Structure 1
Amino acid sequence: MSLPTSPGRNTRRTAAAVTAAGLVLALAACGSDDADASSSGGAEDGHGELSLQLSWIKNAEFAGEYLADSNGYYTDAGFSAVNLVAGPSTGVAELVQGSVQVALSDAVSIGTAVANEDAPVKIIGTTYQKNPFTILSLADGGNIATPQDMVGKKIGVQDSNTSLFKALLAANGIDEGELTIVPVQYDPSVLVNGEVDGFVAYLTNESITVAAQGKPVTNLPFADNGLPFVAETFTATDQTIAEDREMLKDFLVAEIKGWTDAIADPAAAIDLALADYGSDLGLVEENEVQSAQVANDQLITSSDTDADGLFTISDELQQETLKSLAGAGIDVSADDLFDLSLLDEVYEEHPDLVDYAG
Structure 2
Amino acid sequence: MSELRRSPLSRRSLLFGAAGLGTLGTLAACGGGTDSSTGSSSSGSSGFGELTVQLSWIKNIEFAGEYFADSKGYYTKAGFSKVNLVAGGSAGTAAEAMVLSKKATVGLSSPTLTGPAIVNEQAPLKIIGTTFQKNPFCLVSMEQGKPVRTVADLAGKRIGIQTGGNETIFDGFCKANGIDKSTFEIVPVQYDPSVVVSKDVDAFMAYLTNEPILLAARQVDGQPIVPVTLGFADNGLPVVAETFTVLQSTIDDQRDMLKAFLKAEIQGWTDAVADAAASAALAVNTYGKDQKLDLAEQQKEAEAQAALIVSDDTKKNGLFTMTDALVEQNIKSLEEMGTTISAKDLFDLSLLDEVYQDNPDLITG
**TM-score, with structure 1 as normaliser:** 0.91
* Alignment partner of 2:149 out of 141, 145, 148: 145
Alignment partner of 2:230: what SS? strand
The residue number in structure 1 matching 2:2 is: 2
Counterpart-to-counterpart distance in 2, 1:54 and 1:346? 22
How far the C-alpha of 1:13 sits from its partner, in A, is 4.3
How far the C-alpha of 1:273 sits from its partner, in A, is 0.9
Counterpart-to-counterpart distance in 2, 1:327 and 1:45? 44
CA shift digits 1:293-348 (9 cap, x unpaired): 1111x200111101110000110000111111111111111011100011111111
The residue number in structure 2 matching 1:38 is: none
Equivalent pairs counted in the alignment come to 340
* Alignment partner of 1:340 out of 334, 340, 349: 349
1:317 is the counterpart of 2:326? yes
CA shift digits 1:77-121 (9 cap, x unpaired): 111111111112541111111110001111111112222222211
The residue number in structure 1 matching 2:40 is: none
Alignment partner of 1:51: what SS? strand
How far the C-alpha of 1:45 sits from its partner, in A, is 4.4
Which residue identity does 2:352 align to in structure 1? L
The residue number in structure 1 matching 2:15 is: 12
CA shift digits 1:45-103 (9 cap, x unpaired): 41111111111111111111100000000000111111111112541111111110001
Counterpart-to-counterpart distance in 1, 2:77 and 2:230? 41
The residue number in structure 1 matching 2:260 is: 250
Which residue identity does 1:99 align to in structure 2? K
Instruction: Indicate if the aligned counterparts of 1:212 and 1:287 stay in contact, CA closer than 8 A.
Output: no
254-263 or 178-187: which moved more? 178-187
1:185 is the counterpart of 2:180? no
How far the C-alpha of 1:24 sits from its partner, in A, is 3.0
CA shift digits 1:134-160 (9 cap, x unpaired): 011111112100011111111111112
1:330 is the counterpart of 2:325? no
How far the C-alpha of 1:28 sits from its partner, in A, is 7.3
Counterpart-to-counterpart distance in 2, 1:215 and 1:13? 28
The residue number in structure 2 matching 1:284 is: 294
RMSD: 1.8
Structure 1: gaps spanning 5 or more residues = 31-43
1:305 is the counterpart of 2:314? yes
Instruction: Indicate if the aligned counterparts of 1:27 and 1:119 stay in contact, CA closer than 8 A.
Output: no
Counterpart-to-counterpart distance in 2, 1:191 and 1:316? 36
Counterpart-to-counterpart distance in 1, 2:182 and 2:300? 36
Structure 2: gaps spanning 5 or more residues = 32-44, 219-223
Counterpart-to-counterpart distance in 1, 2:146 and 2:124? 42
Q: 1:131 to 1:8 in 2, by over 3 A?
A: closer
Instruction: Indicate if the aligned counterparts of 1:26 and 1:96 stay in contact, CA closer than 8 A.
Output: no
Structure 2 matches for 1:24-103, cutoff 5 A? 24-26=25-27, 45-88=46-89, 90-103=94-107
How far the C-alpha of 1:27 sits from its partner, in A, is 6.2
Instruction: Indicate if the aligned counterparts of 2:75 and 2:82 stay in contact, CA closer than 8 A.
Output: yes
CA shift digits 1:201-237 (9 cap, x unpaired): 1011112111121321100000010000110111111
Instruction: Indicate if the aligned counterparts of 2:279 and 2:302 stay in contact, CA closer than 8 A.
Output: no
Residue identity (%): 51
**TM-score, with structure 2 as normaliser:** 0.89
The residue number in structure 2 matching 1:109 is: 113
* Alignment partner of 2:140 out of 122, 127, 136: 136
Alignment partner of 2:26: what SS? helix
Which residue identity does 2:238 align to in structure 1? P
Alignment partner of 1:224: what SS? coil
Alignment partner of 1:280: what SS? helix
CA shift digits 1:254-306 (9 cap, x unpaired): 0000011112222212111111001111211111111111111x200111101
CA shift digits 1:18-37 (9 cap, x unpaired): 113xx13246799xxxxxxx
Alignment partner of 2:289: what SS? coil
Counterpart-to-counterpart distance in 1, 2:122 and 2:181? 30
Counterpart-to-counterpart distance in 1, 2:246 and 2:196? 37
The residue number in structure 2 matching 1:262 is: 272
Runs of 4+ in 1 over 6 A off after TM superposition: 27-30
Instruction: Indicate if the aligned counterparts of 2:46 and 2:81 stay in contact, CA closer than 8 A.
Output: no
How far the C-alpha of 1:8 sits from its partner, in A, is 4.4
CA shift digits 1:134-189 (9 cap, x unpaired): 01111111210001111111111111211110111111111121111111121212
